[in-house]
Structure 1
Amino acid sequence: MRQYIARRLLEMIPVIIGISFLLFIIFSMSPGDAVDNIQNPNLSQERILEMKKQYGLVGNPVERYINWAKKAVQFDFGKSIKHKEDVSKVIGSYVWNSFYLSLASFLLSVIIAVPIGVISATKQYSIFDKFFTIFALLGISIPSFFFGMVLIKVFALGFEAFPVSGMRSAGMNYTGIKDILDVAHHMVLPTIVLTLGSVASLMRYTRTSMLEVIRQDYMRTARSKGLKEKIVIYKHGLRNALIPIITILGIWLPGLFGGAILTEQVFGWPGIGKVAVEAIGARDYTLLMGFEVLLAVLTLLGNLIADISYALVDPRIRLK
């Protein structure tokens, strides 16, 4: 196991180098940059050129990438022109806000979707199955920004049960448990929006996977031995049905840190997704470069975690 993990981590290095190089070249080819986007008529051409040199925006793209990579190895991804801070500090300041929101949605989705998917598969074409099939179609079809605005209209502006936007109450310097409860209160509506779409898709994946499993010969054999239906379904069936679901959950790992762009915009949540959108408008490619490399690393780690989880779920799989 250790050798497998070490080998996979070493294999990630050239992949990350290739991804980061392509991203850097794409951003270098993009028209304009953050300095060109500064609306200041008092800036002379000499000062603009000086600022571009300061932020590493002048020169051969390959040479600029090499200089960037040398610093990136030391976790120095340059400075964000928009935020006037190191990229690592900007990402660190906002990525955890997105993580808290995404993690809450992720846990709720798994807790809700997996049992419903299993029951829908075992009671195929029942009223329960048909109801949640319609629910899944609605959950996948409804745009997140529209659903978010409906929740704001009804529960924030209508009943005034939840705040309209933000992560904390303005003017309230809560600490300790009060601060946690205040953040949790602000998280309710955006978490519901994120959970709806996740539950709908994960529930359908679970149902499809379980339907394939319950028709297998070993499931009939387990029943013929006189085992209880719950043991047959949850011990023998669900364990094998989890293999494709683990793949999906591994892909979701970058989303925990990548932020929910539309949801964060609608609810004014200070997450990394909202910051990334603002960086695109400001042409802050230095910040976007650091953010995209982070997502690439998380995607590779998610695939690795999924592969390791296969062996934990299915003893027939061996990591070599």
Structure 2
Amino acid sequence: MKASTWYIGGRLLQAIPLVFWVIVVNFVMIHLAPGDPVSFLAGEYEATPEYMEAMRTEFGLDKPLITQLGVYLFKVVQGDLGYSMRMKQPVLELILSRVPATFLLMGTAMFFSTLFGVLLGATYSRRSSLAENATTFLAIAGYSMPAFWLGQMLLIVFSLHLGWFPSQGMMSMRVRETGVWAVIDTLHHLVLPALTWATYHVTIVFRLTRSKMLETLSQDFIITARGKGLDRRAILYRHALPNALLPVVTVLGVNVGFMLAGSVLVETVFAWPGMGRLMFEAISARDYPVLLGLFLVISVMVVLANLVTDIVYALIDPRVTYR
């Protein structure tokens, strides 16, 4: 069996106890947090104590916490994440219906932010130039802006005042087709939330690429390339950039977790129907099964993203071996 197969299998086995403890910790923290899902569902003044007690029995909330945890773990092993208390739907089905929207938004933001971050970092890799100082200032400004504030500013300027882009949702109510016009309408809705999400990520990629490029350009093989008479463009993009991309690949894997966590803010601001908005709705309603299901799915996604990052890292860097 190939070393890569052993490595991937070993990493997946290592992820099992990690995901297990994520489930346990999240379960305990959510159930010990203030708030009662039964009170939210029954209404503050309308339900009788007997009815609320019957609802607690229905959802299993009347049992000891350790018993609830054991029942939940047994169901998770069987692939059953429970039912949403608020929507009365299977949690897994509910989450999977929101995954495409989040992946579309996150994938678009990550693709363009990585592309422009790498290109800008490689292009403006000179010290003390005016363009370099300007891009560095903009990168620091973009890094410092909270996503929810930037999203609201983009909505106010480009949606409310200029009317260039829609203010919420993934598709207009009037669009019922599934062809080209539906795709165009979705892309139209995608611009502002993707720009909000990409602004923070592009600053990280830019600063990391530029820092690594400056380090690489001072190495001996670059000096040798200059001595051979190669032009600056060939030195930058053919020799220096491939070496500077290695830390960027690592950051991409780490940023998957940060972007999934940040999806709560971005998707709520733009009413984007993804996992982040579902999490906000579940938190507001104290919908325990949905919250636990989301945390579990996100944890698995982060583990897989880190595994893919390690594999890609080994492919682009021959010095890295599977052990």
With structure 1 as the length reference, what TM-score do the two structures score?
A: 0.92
Choose from 110, 113, 116 the match for 1:112: 116
Aligned to 1:32: 35
Deviation at 1:258, TM superposition (A): 5.0
Query: Which ranges in structure 1 are unaligned for 5 or more consecutive residues?
Result: none
- 1:1-320 equivalences in 2 (<5 Å): 1-38=4-41, 39=43, 41-121=45-125, 123-254=126-257, 260-320=263-323
Amino acid at match of 2:288: Y
**8 Å contact from structure 1 (residues 33, 285) kept in 2:** no
Deviation at 1:83, TM superposition (A): 1.8
Amino acid at match of 1:218: F
CA displacement, residues 11-58 of structure 1 (integer Å, 9 cap, x when unaligned): 111111111111111122223331132315443333323322322323
CA RMSD of aligned residues (A): 2.0
Deviation at 1:226, TM superposition (A): 4.9
Deviation at 1:255, TM superposition (A): 5.1
Deviation at 1:259, TM superposition (A): 5.9
Deviation at 1:249, TM superposition (A): 0.1
Q: Pick which of 36-45 and 260-269 moved more.
A: 36-45
Q: Equivalents in 1 of 2:233, 2:164: separation in Å?
A: 40
Q: Pick which of 282-291 and 254-263 moved more.
A: 254-263
Q: Equivalents in 2 of 1:166, 1:109: separation in Å?
A: 22
Change (3 A) 1:187 1:137: same
With structure 2 as the length reference, what TM-score do the two structures score?
A: 0.91
**8 Å contact from structure 1 (residues 109, 195) kept in 2:** yes
Secondary structure of 2:122 counterpart: helix
Secondary structure of 2:177 counterpart: coil
Change (3 A) 1:173 1:258: farther
Amino acid at match of 1:125: S
Amino acid at match of 1:90: L
Query: Which ranges in structure 2 are unaligned for 5 or more consecutive residues?
Result: none
**8 Å contact from structure 2 (residues 122, 213) kept in 1:** yes
Deviation at 1:164, TM superposition (A): 1.9
**8 Å contact from structure 1 (residues 239, 314) kept in 2:** no
Change (3 A) 1:30 1:144: closer
Deviation at 1:231, TM superposition (A): 3.9
Q: Equivalents in 2 of 1:6, 1:295: separation in Å?
A: 20
Secondary structure of 2:40 counterpart: coil
* Number of positions where the alignment pairs a residue of Structure 1 with one of Structure 2: 319
**8 Å contact from structure 2 (residues 169, 272) kept in 1:** yes
Secondary structure of 2:321 counterpart: coil
Change (3 A) 1:32 1:192: closer
Tell me the percent identity: 35
Secondary structure of 1:37 counterpart: helix
**8 Å contact from structure 2 (residues 246, 313) kept in 1:** yes
Amino acid at match of 2:163: E
